[in-house]
Amino acid sequence: MTQTDPLFLIAAIAAAIIIGLAKGGLGGIGTLAVPVLALVISPVKAAALLLPILVVSDVFGLWLYRRNFDRRNLLILIPSAAIGVAAGWATAAFVSDRMVGLFVGLIGVSFCANLWFRRRHAFAARPADLRRGIFWGAILGFTSFVSHAGAPPFQVYVLPQRLEKNIYAGTTTITFAAVNAIKLVPYWALGQLSMTNLRTALFLFPVAIVSTFIGVRLVRIIPEKVFFNFVNITLFVVSVKLIADAALR
């Protein structure tokens, strides 16, 4: 399928909208971008095409959430995610999309099941801690490198902390902005940032940017309970889709 095909353009625009909304603070839906575009092109090509859009959207997300973030989480997650990106780069020739999709999907479903179980019982908020943060940060970096699917590991670590809604959204945005910037070098080294992809990404930039501001607005007006329920349900749906895709390949 060519990049002028109507089905490709529909999927690409939908993916750009998803990216923009995620960068605006609706981080739970960001993992849907690659699967949506992978309906019409290979997952590897989809990830390569979307990275420049992610990076440009990150610039606006960083500005919008420059005052809303949890510093301790950032100091733990970003360095450990860099380790995960390096691991993804080193194993790029050996790890298949199917393996990563299955892994990420199982993490997401397990997390949602645990979270729903915890809601039936009284559990105190779990603070950020170094050991868990390094582990999940590395997983985040690895899965993000392969298929921009770092949201489930991120949420496994951060959601139990019960951060305030805007702090959670800002921490998500800043963490993934840093991870996406780190990914540029290995993606370029692996030849995945072609001029064709960059031209298509240029066309999609305005869609993602407008969607970023819409996402910020939605975060501000959606009640906190509804917001986190939406994030959790989206994570579950995406995770099930990743498992199904891996099983059917």
94-152 pLDDT, tens digit per residue, is: 777 677 777 767 877 877 777 677 666 666 677 888 999 999 999 999 988 887 778 88
Write down the pLDDT at residue 171: 93
230, 236, 240, 246: CA torsion to nearest 10: 100
Write down the pLDDT at residue 48: 85
Of the candidates 78, 81, 133, 140, the residue with the CA atom closest to the CA atom of residue 107: 140
Q: Is a pLDDT exceeding 60 seen at residue 9?
A: yes
Q: Is a pLDDT exceeding 90 seen at residue 59?
A: no
Write down the pLDDT at residue 130: 92
Residue 121, C-beta contacts closer than 8 angstroms, at least 6 positions apart:
none
Write down the pLDDT at residue 224: 65
Residue 146, C-beta contacts closer than 8 angstroms, at least 6 positions apart:
47, 88, 92, 95, 97, 100
Q: Is a pLDDT exceeding 70 seen at residue 246?
A: yes
Residue 63, C-beta contacts closer than 8 angstroms, at least 6 positions apart:
none
Of the candidates 168, 149, 130, 36, the residue with the CA atom closest to the CA atom of residue 84: 149
- The ranges assigned to domains in the chain are 6-248
Give me the amino acid identity at 11: A
Write down the pLDDT at residue 82: 97
Write down the pLDDT at residue 182: 94
Write down the pLDDT at residue 2: 56
- Candidate from 19-23, 72-76, 164-168, 226-230 with smallest mean pLDDT: 226-230
Residue 57 pLDDT class (50, 70, 90 cuts): confident
Write down the pLDDT at residue 141: 94
SS3 (DSSP) at 26: coil
Q: Is the dihedral of CA 144, 148, 152, 154 positive or negative?
A: positive
Write down the pLDDT at residue 86: 95
- Candidate from 49-58, 74-83, 128-137, 226-235 with smallest mean pLDDT: 226-235
